[in-house]
């Protein structure tokens, strides 16, 4: 169990100074071969000539030899065919939603062609693949992203216009998949986009949830959680793979026997469920490569208990089915109860077990030695949710295939790598030993065995250290608490050949604070891989005006696959035409958001105001409460001014969006406070358009694509040392927003690249936080105390509900709201002064947007591939203009059946009608302290 050496690779300069130094492989344009060739036949590549001559498949090969062409008439015929033959609609009931589904299915047809060829190429080339395991993938809408990556957006727009539909209206028909919640899931989705774009052999693995975390509604200022049944009207992108299923075991006991002097273990479960695969093609940009996101759905092994049914016990007849299906019903089930905790652990193991079986099946398609597994497989754990895959792979190797323990360990160690996403110790995932023993008895044994060997090594390493046992207790995989718990982060660190943080500051904190002893013990294991986001979605899809400017002045779309190219436009920063186009693009985005706000929130906002926006999960460490306190401070100042003085002030629209965990009462109170501030400010005739406060409901990817491009100022104000990275900061700055923020997470690196003079930075630095926390009970100061008093007196909302927010800050301000407040308002005043000088503001905005090359997820993935996965790109050959042979594509790709749950849809309509009838006392009760809910650790909602 000694630390295995990690092979390091140089990722190149990756600075955008020259193509040959960038570390990225530049391809020829996909578009010239697939789009511009138009009606010419494009023949698909061949991968296995040995099977070409099979007489039984000759006709099949001929029929599947060509790609679908991009002619307008072909697109129209494909859409109409799906309307009639897949959706069973006619030209008399061909509505907008039907058109969306049919168009999406026609796009999926094209994706499947490339998807089949890509998978066949990976198999034929037998290259190493990376498997990215994540409990969530916040995909967002797929249609526009797919068309842009395929280079077909304009073709589809023209084809649809002739049949009476606007493409942009069809985009709005798509429902956001409920497969993720926050930054973790959105990062995973950006990574898949980049893996496909860079031609890396990769698969994503996750769970196909029936329900998203919840659909947020704001009723009288309160957050109300509604079911998010995103599958109610089918998902046109997925492919059900009924031929890919695996049995998943739970519970039972472990039997031991001895064979040839070696103890053998046999896990005998008392429950078995089935995992069925659903595949989602993920196309790359400017390449024919299309990779796969495989999601698992839980099903019973026995669909129906006829014996119970015949005996009249109708509920028991379907009990097994319901229990199995619960596993993948909801993203992040509430784990404040023992049953909730058990469901979460079941969910995680179900996902890990199915994935490991699938990976092993693929590996064993060819005769190999097990030592080849690390040469063909790299598994990246996106946080600790997939950590159970480690003991699961060891179980499979040792118990099923009979490998000796040390041999299995050496293989496993080289396969896994782990990404950490937190800097707070309380946020590290733990599971009780009792629950593990009851649900996964064999895996607990394996974890104990890993820990036994590791503790022996640690004990030897620190044999002469007087703190030896303290060190062992800190590094142990088992926390000797009451009850005992399994530390999943420690398991990941010990069992992976590489561990990385997601921003330079975060990675340094892992090495010096959170995992200091582990870094001392494994000095070569820890790395940094600063997060990134895909410019295809977050500029091209979200901000057409800015995208068109880049393409016009750079004279190509190459910036979409090499974002460093935008830095070349810095020479235009004083160009008046360029400035005006940039300014108009921002104004158009603000006008679009203003319409959305009026529609969704019923509030009219002035587009000549500064849009000051904070959208992210509601949590005390992210400090939406600090933002709210500043709103009150600004309101009081405006009220104290004369009419003439008010007229000289900068107009501001404050916007906040994000969900609070259902059991996180303090976060829900922050939402109520912001809405209460809005109730006062938005209805004050003295203020008018000088200040507006809006809470943006149900924040998701599709709304983010409207909100982010419109921002003038973005609030990135977490306490220094609490945010691992953040990615919304990257998206906002890419779209021309200016950061109001602390030196936390990726803010530090963004400021390095754009220049600190192009951001508004305030607050304590990381090295000051511990000292200031000791003083967290200090007085608030007169200006802040006035705000506290106003909240406690009921000026903004019900003081019985909201006073606790103030009391927690007065007594124990662990996130330094009071400490940072005064430097915060100074920077806010500076932002006002700069905004009055629009030329200076515009240059700051442009400079930020043009210097974000480092924060493309393409750069991040390239570094993972070079430094951790040892992965080579495998580009699918371009199609030929001459008739060539091709291999058979994968079988059993059947069109998905339309899934329409009419009773769910009707129920949804009932919710819309009845939502305003919720009794006021029920809404008030949602913010009342509950003895049990107060015991729930806030960090449970940190993913």
Nearest to 739 by CA among 901, 847, 648: 847
d(CA 703, CA 779): 40
Percentage of the chain beyond pLDDT 70 is: 87
My answer on whether 620 and 730 are in the same domain is yes
Distance between CA atoms of residues 690 and 693, nearest Å: 11
Q: Which tens digits make up the pLDDT trace of 156-168?
A: 999 999 999 999 9
Those residues whose C-beta lies under 8 Å from the C-beta of residue 738, and which sit 6 or more positions away, are: 712, 713, 714, 758, 759, 760, 831, 841, 844, 845, 848
Looking at residue 854, its pLDDT comes to 97
Give dist(CA 147, CA 912) in Å, integer. 33
Tokens found for residue 753? 């690249």
Alpha helices in 364-440 (DSSP H): 373-376, 389-395, 405-415, 433-439
Q: Which residues of 291-323 are buried (b: 16+ CB within 10 A; e: fewer)?
A: bbbbbbbbbbeeeebeebeeeeeeeebbebbee
User: Is residue 714 a part of any domain in this protein?
Assistant: yes
Q: Pairing between strand 485-487 and 430-432?
A: antiparallel
707 and 643 co-located in one domain: yes
Both 703 and 617 in a single domain?
yes
Band (pLDDT 50/70/90 cuts) for residue 886 is very low
Domain assignment present for residue 132? The answer is no
Query: Dihedral of CA 764/765/769/770: which sign?
Result: negative
Instruction: Reply yes or no on whether the pLDDT at 748 is more than 60.
Output: yes
Q: Closest Cα to residue 673, out of 660, 688, 691?
A: 660
Q: Give the pTM.
A: 0.91
Which domain does 642 fall in, by range?
610-851
Residue located via tokens 């903004």:
796
pLDDT beyond 70 at 906 = no
**Residue 704 placed within a domain:** yes
pLDDT, greater one: 488 or 904? 488
The two structure tokens encoding residue 52: 């070409």
- The CATH number linked to 655 is 3.40.50.2000
Q: Which two tokens stand for residue 864?
A: 């993972």
As a whole number, mean pLDDT of residues 734-757 equals 98
Q: What is the pLDDT of residues 750-784, one digit of tens each?
A: 999 999 999 999 999 999 999 999 988 889 999 99
Do residue 666 and residue 770 come from a single domain? yes
Q: Which residues neighbour 255 within 8 Å (Cβ) at sequence distance 6 or greater? A: 265, 266, 268
Task: Indicate if 674 and 725 belong to the same structural domain.
Answer: yes
Report how far residue 802's alpha carbon sits from residue 383's, in angstroms, rounded to the nearest whole number.
34
Q: Tell me what the pLDDT averaged over the chain comes to.
A: 89
What is the total residue count of the chain?
943
Task: Tell me the pLDDT band of 451, cut-offs 50, 70 and 90.
Answer: very high
The residues annotated as belonging to the active site are: 421, 616-617, 622, 727, 731
- Domain membership of residue 239 (yes or no) is no
Average confidence (pLDDT) over 923-935:
61
Specify whether 621 is located in the same domain as 767.
yes
What's the pLDDT score for residue 40?
Answer: 65
Residue 594 counted as domain residue: no
> 701 lies in a domain?
yes
User: What does the alpha-carbon distance between residue 88 and residue 65 come to, in Å, rounded to a whole number?
Assistant: 28
Q: How many domains does the chain have?
A: 2
pLDDT, one tens digit per residue, over 320-377 is 778 888 999 998 887 878 999 999 999 999 999 999 999 999 999 999 999 999 999 9
**For residues 831 and 650, what is the distance between their CA atoms, to the nearest angstrom?**
10
Q: How far is CA 265 from CA 352, 402, 452, 718, in A?
A: 20, 10, 18, 49
> Per residue in 195-254, pLDDT tens?
999 999 999 999 999 999 999 999 999 999 999 999 998 999 999 999 999 999 999 999
Same domain? 708 vs 614: yes
Q: Which secondary structure element, helix H or strand E, spans residue 307, and what is its range?
A: helix 306-310
Could you say which DSSP state residue 169 is in? H
Strands 610-615 and 652-657, by their bridges, are parallel
pLDDT tens track for 572-611: 999 999 999 999 999 999 999 999 999 999 999 999 999 9
Query: Is the predicted pLDDT of residue 318 greater than 70, yes or no?
Result: no
Residues 890 and 797 grouped into a single domain: no
pLDDT bucket at 922, cuts 50 / 70 / 90: confident
Q: How far apart are CA 336 and CA 344, in angstroms?
A: 11
Instruction: Report whether pLDDT(629) > 90.
Output: yes
Tokens of 821: 């407040």
Tokens of 451: 């820990």
Give all strands of the β-sheet with 526-528 in edge-to-edge order. 239-250, 271-283, 290-300, 202-207, 129-133, 377-382, 416-419, 498-501, 526-528
Which pLDDT does position 309 carry in this prediction? Answer: 53
Q: Is 413 helix (H, G, I), strand (E, B) or coil?
A: helix
pLDDT at 25 over 50: no
Residue 50 shares a structural domain with residue 120? yes
Q: Is 382 part of any domain?
A: no
Same domain, residue pair 721 and 816: yes
Pick 916 or 30 by higher pLDDT: 916
Given a cut of 90, whether residue 930 has pLDDT beyond it is: no
Asked whether residue 890 falls in the same domain as residue 756, the answer is no
Sign of CA dihedral 858, 862, 868, 869: positive
Per-residue pLDDT band at 898 (split at 50, 70, 90): very low
Q: What is the pLDDT of residues 527-537, one digit of tens each?
A: 999 999 999 99
Confidence category of residue 888, pLDDT binned at 50, 70, 90:
very low
One domain, residues 653 and 791: yes
Nearest 5°: the CA angle 361, 366, 367 is 110
Instruction: List all residues 6 or more positions away from 329 whose beta carbon is below 8 Å from its beta carbon.
Output: 209, 210, 211
Tens digits of per-residue pLDDT, 288-311? 999 999 999 999 987 545 565 556
In the predicted model, is pLDDT for residue 848 greater than 60? yes
**Domain contains 678:** yes
Q: Tell me which residue of 263, 230, 268, 234 sits closest to 249, measured CA to CA.
A: 268
Which pairs with CB-CB distance under 8 Å and at least 24 residues apart come from 907-916?
908/229, 908/232, 911/226, 915/217, 915/219, 915/224, 915/226, 916/219
Q: What is the dihedral of CA 876, 877, 878, 883, to 10 degrees?
A: -130
pLDDT per residue as tens digits for the range 649-662 = 999 999 999 999 99
- Round to whole Å and give the CA distance between 133 and 191: 11
The residue ranges of DSSP E strands in 848-888, in sequence order, are none
Residue whose C-alpha is closest to residue 943's, from 380, 218, 386: 386
């Amino acid at each position: 169990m000694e630390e295995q050496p990690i092979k390091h690779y140089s990722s190149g300069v990756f600075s955008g100074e020259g193509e040959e130094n960038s570390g990225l492989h530049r391809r020829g344009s996909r578009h010239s071969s697939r789009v511009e060739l138009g009606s010419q036949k494009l023949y698909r590549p061949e991968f296995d000539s040995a099977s070409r001559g099979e007489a039984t498949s000759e006709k099949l090969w001929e029929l599947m030899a060509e790609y679908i062409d991009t002619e307008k008439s072909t697109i129209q015929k494909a859409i109409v065919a799906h309307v009639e033959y897949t959706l069973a609609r006619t030209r008399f009931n061909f509505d907008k939603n039907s058109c969306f589904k049919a168009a999406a299915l026609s796009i999926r047809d094209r994706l499947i062609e490339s998807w089949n060829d890509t998978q066949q190429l990976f198999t034929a080339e037998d290259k190493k693949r990376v498997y990215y395991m994540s409990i969530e993938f916040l995909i967002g809408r797929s249609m526009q992203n797919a068309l842009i990556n395929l280079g077909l957006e304009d073709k589809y727009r023209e084809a649809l216009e002739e049949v009476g539909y606007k493409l942009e209206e069809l985009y709005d028909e798509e429902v956001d998949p409920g497969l993720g919640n926050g930054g973790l899931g959105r990062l995973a989705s950006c990574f898949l986009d980049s893996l496909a774009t860079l031609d890396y052999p990769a698969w994503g693995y996750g769970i196909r949830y029936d329900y998203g975390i919840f659909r947020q509604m704001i009723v009288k200022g309160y957050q109300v959680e509604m079911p998010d049944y995103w599958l109610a009207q089918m998902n046109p992108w997925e492919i059900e793979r009924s031929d890919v299923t695996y049995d998943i075991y739970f519970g039972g006991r472990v039997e031991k026997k001895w064979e040839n002097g070696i103890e053998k273990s046999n896990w005998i479960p008392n429950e078995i469920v089935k995992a069925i695969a659903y595949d989602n093609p993920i196309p790359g940009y400017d390449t024919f490569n299309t990779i796969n996101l495989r999601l698992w759905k839980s099903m019973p092994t026995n669909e129906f208990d006829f014996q119970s049914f015949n005996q009249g016990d109708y509920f028991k007849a379907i009990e097994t089915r319901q229990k199995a299906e619960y596993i993948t019903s909801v993203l992040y089930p509430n784990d404040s109860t023992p049953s909730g905790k058990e469901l979460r652990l079941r969910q995680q193991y179900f996902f890990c077990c199915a994935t490991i079986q699938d990976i092993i099946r693929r590996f064993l398609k060819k005769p190999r030695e097990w030592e080849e597994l690390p040469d063909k497989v790299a598994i990246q754990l996106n946080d600790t949710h997939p950590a159970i895959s480690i003991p699961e792979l060891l179980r499979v190797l040792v118990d099923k295939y009979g490998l000796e323990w040390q041999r299995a360990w050496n293989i496993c160690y080289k396969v896994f790598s782990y990404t950490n996403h937190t800097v707070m110790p309380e946020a590290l995932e733990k599971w009780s030993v009792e629950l593990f023993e009851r649900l996964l008895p064999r895996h607990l044994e394996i974890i104990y065995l890993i820990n036994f060997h590791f503790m022996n090594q640690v004990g030897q390493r620190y044999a002469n250290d007087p703190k030896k046992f303290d060190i062992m207790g800190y590094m142990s995989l088992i926390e000797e608490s009451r009850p005992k718990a399994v530390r999943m982060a420690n398991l990941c660190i010990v069992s992976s050949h590489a561990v990385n943080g997601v921003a330079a500051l975060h990675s340094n904190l892992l090495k010096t604070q959170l995992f200091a002893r582990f870094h001392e013990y494994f000095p070569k294991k820890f790395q940094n891989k600063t997060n990134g986001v895909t410019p295809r979605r977050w500029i091209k899809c979200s901000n057409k005006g800015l995208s068109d400017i880049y393409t016009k002045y750079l004279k190509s779309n190459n910036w979409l696959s090499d974002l460093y190219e935008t830095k070349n436009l810095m020479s235009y920063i004083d160009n008046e035409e360029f400035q005006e186009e940039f300014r108009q693009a921002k104004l158009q985005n603000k006008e679009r958001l203003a319409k959305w706000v009026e529609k969704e929130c019923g509030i009219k906002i002035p587009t000549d105001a500064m849009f000051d926006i904070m959208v992210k999960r509601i949590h005390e460490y992210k400090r939406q409460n600090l933002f709210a306190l500043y709103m009150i401070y600004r309101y009081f100042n405006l009220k104290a001014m004369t009419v003439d003085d008010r007229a000289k002030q900068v107009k501001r629209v404050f916007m906040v969006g994000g969900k609070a965990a259902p059991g996180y009462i303090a976060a829900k109170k922050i939402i109520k406070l912001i809405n209460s501030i809005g109730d006062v400010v938005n209805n004050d005739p003295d203020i008018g358009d000088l200040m507006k406060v809006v809470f943006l409901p149900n924040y998701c990817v599709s709304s983010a694509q409207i909100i982010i491009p419109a921002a003038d100022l973005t609030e990135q104000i977490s306490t220094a040392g609490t945010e691992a990275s953040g990615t919304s900061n990257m998206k906002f700055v890419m779209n021309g927003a200016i950061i109001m923020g602390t030196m936390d997470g990726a803010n530090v690196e963004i400021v390095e690249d754009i220049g600190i003079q192009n951001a508004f930075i305030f607050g304590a630095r990381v090295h000051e936080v511990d000292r200031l926390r000791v003083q967290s009970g200090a007085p608030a100061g007169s200006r802040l105390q006035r705000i506290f008093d106003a909240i406690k007196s009921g000026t903004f909302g019900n003081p019985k509900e909201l006073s606790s927010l103030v009391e927690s800050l007065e007594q124990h301000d662990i996130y330094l709201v009071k400490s940072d407040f005064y430097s915060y308002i100074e920077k806010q005043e500076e932002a006002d002064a700069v905004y009055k000088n629009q030329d200076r503001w515009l240059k700051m905005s442009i400079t930020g947007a043009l210097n974000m090359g480092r924060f493309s997820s393409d750069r991040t993935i390239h570094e993972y591939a070079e430094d951790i996965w040892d992965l080579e790109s495998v580009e699918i050959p371009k199609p030929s203009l001459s008739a060539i042979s091709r291999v058979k594509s994968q079988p059993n790709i059947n069109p998905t059946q339309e899934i329409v749950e009419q009773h769910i849809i009707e129920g949804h309509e009932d919710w819309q009608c009845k939502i305003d009838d919720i009794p006021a006392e029920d809404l008030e009760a949602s913010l009342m302290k509950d003895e049990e809910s107060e015991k729930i650790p806030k960090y449970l909602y940190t993913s």
